[in-house]
Structure 1
């Protein structure tokens, strides 16, 4: 199998992983509140269950990232992590108690931590100028899963049968469905995924191939020239000429010998190289920098607000609009369409403007959304039609800003942190997001009856993040670009 085909199949598999993560979220979220109600769970338990998934992902993300940095092997890490997804969803379909439901999301969340290894792998195997485009494409895959998920949920809610001792109904069917999909994905990973070499090794390999080709062409030209000289060569040759020619040949080593001394760019990581990845690594030097703190703050605020809003949505629609599973599934479907459109637009926009511009656009949208929700959703005004309109505008403005902030901060974070420890760095970034997705549902779950306090905190966080962005805007560029700007300023 040629390298281009291996690369394409590997990226398709990664896209499927993101797709299934979106499908899992979309088929479970619309029904989990009603499921918990059948198990006599209090309203705050919804926040606990949603946060459990993020908690285990928060802890496993840096570990998976560190593992991938040391071994440069992503395939076996994905296979290992998917086992937790399979077991967690199997526990979900059992559905005996609310505590088993909580435990199932904890176990499945461990498998979700593999995204840190995947982002580190993508960082190493893509060029910096293509990174925002690639990240936007894979994030769009997850949103495609959010769109497809509700469509599956429409059919899963019709399930009513027994699978041995387990009752499969509209609440437990999502667990069975996702368990089967993650099992199928294991086979896809085994047969279609390879550990691609880092981009610099790929460039070195291509350069070596071109060099070999040039040497072959040069060698053929020399041979042709020698053949042409042979025709006019005298039968008796001067010893001086022979000695001179021979001394040149004796002092020049064969080309093939020189080439064989170069290490293969596709060779696996040696133990010495693996152990040296973190040799000069300093957490304080890597993460306690102004630009890194701003991007980690963007990660935290974005996911805190997103998960708080998602936790609040289903109780709010039940209270004001009497939405059930079908209506919620349709709502998530439409939301997913909007987000996919946003990611596709960001994918196009990233070729024309820098990440910090995209980040600023996304934050403007999120600020407008939070102010709108604070005014209109905290205490809805008017009749049913007007309240529904207020709800749609507030929620869809929030999810429209999500692609801009997500892609910009992930892509820029991969450029301003060290590439050799990218898996661990992405794990730290994901853990910050995981902490936000823990606190967000807990915050919203306990304040569904006090919307002013809940939305007020979301607005304050966004305003603080916007101020940080404005203050550090000049530093939110690649280190090479920053050095070029500094040199230009010194020269002027």
Structure 2
């Protein structure tokens, strides 16, 4: 193992980040070291980990370990079905909740509880996400955490089904929100088990699964529209039926977790292989061998690039949730649309997202992540400026209003996959592997803040939709400006196999000192 340790600025202690220029890396040695003929660039390249690869799809810095090849597919299966069910739940409950309150408790109760009930779901996710993230980081099995989360989802949806008052609906969404908070450890496992050159396609697959959920959700709504059952004294219809559907689906997902989800260590290896790997590395030191003399702590999440990506992801998710929250009430008042018509919009939007994501999958192989993010943000800014004007003049547009609103939503749908998927992929390329739990916890917390603020603003200001779209416009202008002002810092540097130094001159008895 080499003695050379890059001392990084901006609070990075031990792992080089691809976003830092080479001239900001200093090397300190603590023991005998033969670096004759080795340049600082060679030392830097030796210490580049994940995130040091470029955008070229054909390059491959290292062969994927067999344990990663085995682990990534079952994790991707569970994560994609998780995303599928979360979006089915969102697409089946959000369009009908407003009418649920109106039918059972009247317009006044609907106006009072709609925004807060949407918000409490996101607020509970915001509070519980760091707890699940740190639980996974400190050794609790991700498989166990997922099963606990699914149990809470089942209980929350059963409360929604059996609600005898608006507070029961509120409590059910609170429980379901806590259950929907287990993404950080699951996404950290998926990131560890994938190579950087395949990570963007995997994240796009997760995005596609979510969009498929937005198709199945309205499809369930159309089925429930014809449902009118009575079990004992409880009536099951299109308004409370989503609780029954989602409870059954989360039970099936729990069975899937029990059968397929692997138990991994922090390197992405199966837990039963971890002891063998430790024994091998203890007898034959290498770059990845653990040492208790190194503290690889990452506290550099305040860097400009991370703040920009956080702003991008926050603005994108805020816009998605705010639009979905305000769309149903506006369409109901302006066009007389009910849950069926809104469901058709969701289905059409989901099909469009799937087409755009498929195109994006191929674009990601030849266009840099930073450029794809800019493309998406430009679409979003254009869409929200357009919708602000259209909604403000909606009364004067007559029958053309429907077409113009749907067109604006379509532009939003075209642009949204780019910042959602590509920003998250770029973020993981900048984060060292040992810190993925912390990084995913921070990222999911940012997303969950958007999930809290977006529905609350959209639901509370559903009587003033132009204000909602204007807020979406301003929020998306901020990350676009930040990204363009330091565009060069968001390029991921490449490392080819020829650039990686030979290990023949590395002393086997040296140690690292930070």
Aligned to 1:174: 242
Return the alpha-carbon distance in structure 2 between the equivalents of residues 200 and 18 of structure 1: 21
Distance 1:14 1:462, change over 3 A: closer
Return the alpha-carbon distance in structure 1 between the equivalents of residues 478 and 412 of structure 2: 17
What CA deviation, in whole Å up to 9, does each residue of 1:181-203 have, x standing for no partner?
1111111110122135666759x
Aligned to 1:229: none
Aligned to 2:508: none
Return the alpha-carbon distance in structure 1 between the equivalents of residues 243 and 283 of structure 2: 52
Aligned to 2:11: none
What CA deviation, in whole Å up to 9, does each residue of 1:194-248 have, x standing for no partner?
135666759xx9xx99xxxxxxxxxxxxxxxxxxxxxxxxxxxxxxxxxxxxxxx
Give 1:7 deviation, angstroms: 4.4
Return the alpha-carbon distance in structure 2 between the equivalents of residues 10 and 454 of structure 1: 37
Q: 1:323 aligns with which of 322, 329, 337?
A: 337
Aligned to 1:389: 403
Aligned to 2:83: 18
Give 1:324 deviation, angstroms: 0.8
Distance 1:152 1:356, change over 3 A: same
User: Structure 1: which 4+ aligned runs deviate by more than 4 Å?
Assistant: 2-7, 196-202, 258-265, 381-384
Aligned to 2:111: 43
User: TM-score by structure 1 length?
Assistant: 0.79
Q: Which runs of 5 or more residues in structure 1 are unaligned?
A: 210-257, 482-492
Aligned to 1:243: none
Q: Is the Cα contact below 8 Å between 2:98 and 2:110 reproduced in 1? A: no
Q: 2:417 aligns with which of 387, 403, 406?
A: 403
Aligned to 1:194: 262
Correspondence 1:379 to 2:385: no
Give 1:441 deviation, angstroms: 2.2
Query: RMSD in angstroms over aligned alpha carbons?
Result: 2.9
What CA deviation, in whole Å up to 9, does each residue of 1:23-74 have, x standing for no partner?
1111112211100112232425222111111111111212212222222742
Correspondence 1:359 to 2:373: yes
What CA deviation, in whole Å up to 9, does each residue of 1:430-468 have, x standing for no partner?
211211222222222333333443322222222222111
Higher CA-based Rg: 1
Q: Is the Cα contact below 8 Å between 1:63 and 1:424 reproduced in 2? A: no
Aligned to 1:116: 184
Give 1:101 deviation, angstroms: 0.8
SS at match of 1:39: helix
Q: 1:345 aligns with which of 359, 362, 373?
A: 359
Correspondence 1:292 to 2:306: yes
Give 1:150 deviation, angstroms: 0.9
SS at match of 1:286: coil
Q: Which runs of 5 or more residues in structure 2 are unaligned?
A: 1-65, 496-514
Q: Is the Cα contact below 8 Å between 1:131 and 1:411 reproduced in 2? A: yes
Q: Is the Cα contact below 8 Å between 1:338 and 1:399 reproduced in 2? A: yes
Return the alpha-carbon distance in structure 1 between the equivalents of residues 489 and 348 of structure 2: 37
User: TM-score by structure 2 length?
Assistant: 0.75
